[in-house]
Structures are given as structure tokens and as C-alpha cells.
Amino acid sequence: MTEPAPSSADWPRFLPSGDHAITVELGAGVDRAVSARVVRLHRHLRNAPLDGVIETLPSFRSLLVQFDPRRTDPAALEEGLRAAIAGLTTEPLPSRRWTIPVCYAAEMAPDLAELAALCGMSEAQVVECQCSVVYYVYMLGFLPGYGYLGDVPEPLRLPRRTDPRTRVPAGSLAIATGFASVYPFESPGGWHVIGRSPVTFFDAVAAEPALLAPGDAIRFEPISAERFDDLRGVKPAAAPAQSNGAGL
């Protein structure tokens, strides 16, 4: 028998995660509204931390809250978290806006021609379509600074590659299913690589090592190979925080 889908009354859920963390689930599935609730709680706890909270880690639909068991306990923490959630604003979620340069030249986009053929488009149409939307950073994961960016336009949504690469260069822009991402380091990867950015997405010695954060908004901007060399390693400036649209 199929279980009924959770309703809004089912959230939040508090799940134990070992002896010093609680997972707070705030919705189901990959959804910008659910993600916005996660990001609001994450930001609130950074600005007004509850006693004993060490760190918060946002994901697509939940927030992992790590705590010091010598200073608080799960019951007290859950009570504080419920109060924090009840007090969260429903105003649009302010987000930093980034313009990320990407070179789509053949030597930096090994999958662009194949992806264009599979989508029934020209390479130029793929680039235009891929750059036509503002992407939303749902979460960071897989690698430090690796952002899961949604949402890829429907015409470009393909499954992961059947033959993952053992080496994907740092800065590579890749897409799969409904997501895009830029590899902050050289890494194995199974997504379709369609370009490369000269931007550094993770700097271990910086005050904020990861360039991106959940809730950020991104637009990609095509550049030439010559411009790529000029911008290599340059950190872009984020536009002032503003609503990222869609009531988030």
C-alpha cells in the first residue's frame, strides 16, 4: 500500500544524527521554497546561535545542526529550533547575485557538441539556452565549494554520462538532469562538461573559503578563450543581496 505524501503539517521533522547532531527536515523534494526555508534557518542560527550549537550544514531540504552535548541536549535544542522556525520571516529570501564568466570553446567544452546533438540543438543554441536563466544555489557538496545549481532549462536536461571521466579540470561547468555545477578542483565526474570558468571557487586560506553559498543566485556569461586567460583566478564581485525571485 502506498503511503500518503507528507503534508505541510508534517514539517518540521527532527531526526537524531549521532550523539551530537540533529537533522531538521523542512520539506520534501528539491524545491526552491523548501530550500529557502532551510537557508533562512541556517542564516538565523549563524546570526543568533542557540546555546551549544557548533555548526549548521544546509542541504536540499534539511539542516544538519551539530551541537556540543556538554552544553545542551536534543530535547532542549529541539525546543529552541522550533521557536526559531516559528519566528522565521516569510519575506522573499535576499541572495547575493553572481555573474560567472564561462568559455564554451571546444577545448574547454568536451561534451558540448554531443549534448547539442542529443538535445536537437546547435552548440550556440545550447549556450544561449544555458545562459538564459538565473540559477539558484541549493547546497554545497561532493567537493568543498561545489555548488548544486538549479534549475537547468528543460531542453537541456539529460541523465549523467554513462562513462564518467576520471579527471575533470577545475573550473569546468557541467550539467546533468536539472542541475549545473562548476568543479572547484580537478576531480572525477560524470556530468556533461560544456564549458570552463576562470573563476576560483574555493580558496582554503580565505576568510570564506567557498565562493558560493546556499541561497545565492548565478547567471553565466559567455567569454572568449582570450578573455578566459585575462580573468584566470580573478574573484568576481557579488551584486548586493536582493530577492532571488519566485517569492523566495
Longest dimension (CA), the chain: 60
d(CA 85, CA 91): 14
The conformational region for residue 29 under phi > 0 = left, psi -120 to 50 = alpha, else beta, is left
Q: Is the pLDDT of residue 9 over 90?
A: no
- 191-231 pLDDT, tens digit each: 999 999 999 999 999 999 999 999 999 999 999 999 999 99
Q: Count other C-beta atoms under 10 Å from residue 47's C-beta.
A: 7
The number of distinct structural domains making up the chain is 2
55 belongs to a structural domain: yes
Which of 149, 189, 152, 150 is CA-nearest to residue 169?
189
Predicted TM-score (pTM) of the model is: 0.90
The C-alpha cell 526559531 sits at 84
Beta strand pairing call for 179-182 and 147-150: antiparallel
* Amino acid residing at 219: R
Domain boundary among 67, 86, 105: 86
Domain boundary among 25, 53, 86: 86
Structural domain containing residue 203: 95-243
Domain boundary among 86, 118, 141: 86
Are 229 and 113 contained in the same domain? yes
Are 133 and 152 contained in the same domain? yes
Domain of residue 226, CATH code: 2.40.100.10
248 belongs to a structural domain: no
21 belongs to a structural domain: yes
Q: How far is CA 237 from the centre of its chain?
A: 18
Are 44 and 153 contained in the same domain? no
Q: Is the pLDDT of residue 89 over 90?
A: no
